[in-house]
Structure 1
Amino acid sequence: MHILVFGATGAIGSIFCDIALEAEHSLTLFVRNQRKVPARVADDKRVTIIEGTLEDEEILNNVSRCEADAFVSFAGPPVGNKGTPLTDGYRALIPKLISRDIKRLLVLGTPSFKGSSDIPAFKWRLGELTMKALGPMRGQYWEMMAVGKYITSLSVDSGVRWTLFRVGGLTNGKQSPVETTVLGSGKDSMWISRASVARWVLDEAVEEKWVREIPYICN
């Protein structure tokens, strides 16, 4: 399988690249700074690196021509984020991917973005109110809400097969079994290891069990 990865130089993305290569997949990495890609990944013959930003139309056209089978994004806004640059980038890139028949999309989301199957729970409401109240985190909240709205609005008629995977608190623990659930289920722990997220996403890219769904994943 050929996977286009956005956010490959982050903690989860780096782990994802390692396990994807171990599983004999090939990768195209869309990164801002290719010097941040670990040498063990950058030097692998199965890896192609495209350096650029979501604001560069020519780069986006180049990325869309990579002939990947799936697009995976671990990108999230930084603390103090202003506006919706990530969402705007997705709006520019994803239609280009779809036009090139890259229609399997797996994108990182937030538990603040709710689905119809979620059950109201105090801990998640408290977390949402906290993000809204704290100035440095408020921009992150609105950006990730916008990401969720955009990804879930993608037309079924286009044939796109999206999955918005939501995570809570991230740890540096080892890979362990993942609970795929909804908010308020009683199984919705607030924590998951980065290694577990990476493995779940790789498996889902191949198995497609949660197409056009917004699962919450945790350990």
Structure 2
Amino acid sequence: MNVTVFGATGAIGSLTVDELLDRGYTVTAYARNRAKVPTRWGEKVRVVIGEMSDAAAIDNAIAGADVVVSALGPSMDRKATGLPLVEGTRHILDAMKRHGVARYIGHGTPSILDPREKPTWQTRLIGFMGRHGLPRAYKELLGMSELIMNSGANWTIIRFTAPMNTPKTGKLRVGFYGTDRIGFAVSRADIAAFTAVQVDDDTYINAAPAISH
């Protein structure tokens, strides 16, 4: 199975590529900067370099894919402007339609509710912090998720709050706010592993599971 990963050289994205390779998938990694491509990938990964505004490069990366995985996350730089990842997500979804790719797996925030949820104190708190702490990044995350949820793709959005640089545990709380007990912290390694599992698992199609330790 061929998987195209966006945000592939980021903290979670690079770990996700590693997990996909370990599971025997063929991986295409889309990255902005070739210098950030891990040397450990060697010739095992097809790399496409481009900005999220480059529709042609995005189309090239998705050609031949069976699944698209997005580990894209907004810049936390308060000087950042615009909503580049919303534009990039549009290019990704357009390319998926052109190439007949139905499956999309991405990351998001509990500020966006799963269709079966109602707001809880946790989702309200996270939303409040996003709106007032990093409003541009918050708006970008919401814009990306809304595009995906309304795209007609077989989507899964994995939601988490406080990613940590701690070892993979393989032990996660997974579920939905208001129904399941979900915490805050989670390791980036466990996010990557859970993301990779979704490639051939249909449990959470058209759902936004929340995960934590």
Contact 2:113 2:119 in 1 (8 A): no
Contact 2:157 2:207 in 1 (8 A): yes
Contact 1:2 1:68 in 2 (8 A): yes
Q: Report the Cα distance in structure 1 between the residues aligned to 2:180 and 2:104, rounded to whole angstroms.
A: 28
Q: How far did 1:191 drift?
A: 1.4
Tell me what 2:163 maps to.
Answer: 170
Q: How far did 1:120 drift?
A: 2.9
Please give the TM-score of this superposition, normalised by the length of structure 1.
0.90
User: Which structure 1 residue ranges, 5 or more long, are not aligned?
Assistant: none
Match of 1:75 among 39, 54, 72: 72
Matched, 1:206 2:187: no
How much identity, in percent, do the aligned residues show? 27
Tell me what 2:177 maps to.
Answer: 183
Q: Report the Cα distance in structure 2 between the residues aligned to 1:131 and 1:60, rounded to whole angstroms.
A: 29
Tell me what 2:54 maps to.
Answer: 56
Q: How far did 1:59 drift?
A: 1.4
Q: Report the Cα distance in structure 2 between the residues aligned to 1:118 and 1:9, rounded to whole angstroms.
A: 32
Contact 1:119 1:182 in 2 (8 A): no
Q: Report the Cα distance in structure 1 between the residues aligned to 2:114 and 2:55, rounded to whole angstroms.
A: 32
- The one-letter amino acid of 1:100's match is H
Q: Report the Cα distance in structure 2 between the residues aligned to 1:31 and 1:22, rounded to whole angstroms.
A: 20
- The one-letter amino acid of 2:146's match is K
Matched, 1:2 2:41: no
User: Which structure 2 residue ranges, 5 or more long, are not aligned?
Assistant: none
CA deviations over 1:80-106 (Å, ceiling 9, x no partner): 243321011111221212221221100
Alignment partner of 1:16: what SS? Answer: helix
Q: How does 1:1-219 map to 2 (within 5 A)?
A: 1-41=1-41, 43=42, 45-65=43-63, 67-79=64-76, 80=78, 81-134=80-133, 137-155=134-152, 160-176=153-169, 177-219=171-213
Q: Report the Cα distance in structure 1 between the residues aligned to 2:119 and 2:93, rounded to whole angstroms.
A: 31
From the superposition, tell whether residues 11 and 210 of structure 1 become closer, same or farther in structure 2 (CA, over 3 Å): same
Contact 1:182 1:215 in 2 (8 A): yes
Contact 2:93 2:151 in 1 (8 A): no
Q: Give aligned pairs, total.
A: 210
Q: Report the Cα distance in structure 2 between the residues aligned to 1:5 and 1:148, rounded to whole angstroms.
A: 17
Q: How far did 1:124 drift?
A: 2.7
CA deviations over 1:3-52 (Å, ceiling 9, x no partner): 100111111111112222122211100100111011011x1x33100001
Q: How far did 1:203 drift?
A: 0.7
Judge which range, 18-27 or 146-155, deviates more.
18-27
Q: Report the Cα distance in structure 2 between the residues aligned to 1:23 and 1:94, rounded to whole angstroms.
A: 25
Contact 1:119 1:185 in 2 (8 A): no
